[in-house]
Amino acid sequence: MDVKRGRMVFLGYGKYWRSDAIVGLMPIEEGRGPGQRTNVFIEGRAEPLVASRTEEAILEDMGATDAGFQLDALREAIRELLEAFHVFSPVLRRALENEHHFAVARWEQRLSELLKPVDRSDPSSQNDLFD
């Protein structure tokens, strides 16, 4: 399993650590609950940090899962495709649209939207907590 070096990994509750300094993850069995999901063993520290995230989520952020590598590869491929689209001449764009029904501008827009970060917070549900 490969870990992407130098990547900051969110452990929960404002704790971040470098991916290449994390040497082990162990799910908390007893006393597991909100704020206590995983023991994170850090190079040079005697005691593990307690993370509020699961080991799978931490591994995903470390870039150590197949899904993480695949997502990174897909993002890179989309970036390269967008760069190629940007250098298409107006003549080539018109030819693709008229002869092959391929709208370069529409695909540029769609692919750019895929690269935008996803906002996973639901503000309406957060406000419901205080009513």
Domain definitions of the chain by residue range: 8-62, 66-115
Percent of the chain residues topping a pLDDT of 70: 82
Q: How far apart are CA 17 and CA 48, in angstroms?
A: 12
Model pLDDT for residues 110-130, shown as the tens digit of each residue? 999 988 865 555 555 545 555
Question: What pLDDT shows up at residue 69?
Answer: 63
Model pTM greater than 0.75? no
> What does the pLDDT average to over 19-35?
87
Quickly state the pLDDT bin for 109 (edges 50, 70, 90): very high
72: phi then psi, degrees, rounded to nearest 5: -60, -40
Question: What pLDDT shows up at residue 43?
Answer: 93
**Mean pLDDT of the chain, nearest integer:** 83
| Helix or strand holding residue 99 (H, E) | helix 90-100
Q: How far apart are CA 96 and CA 92, in angstroms?
A: 6
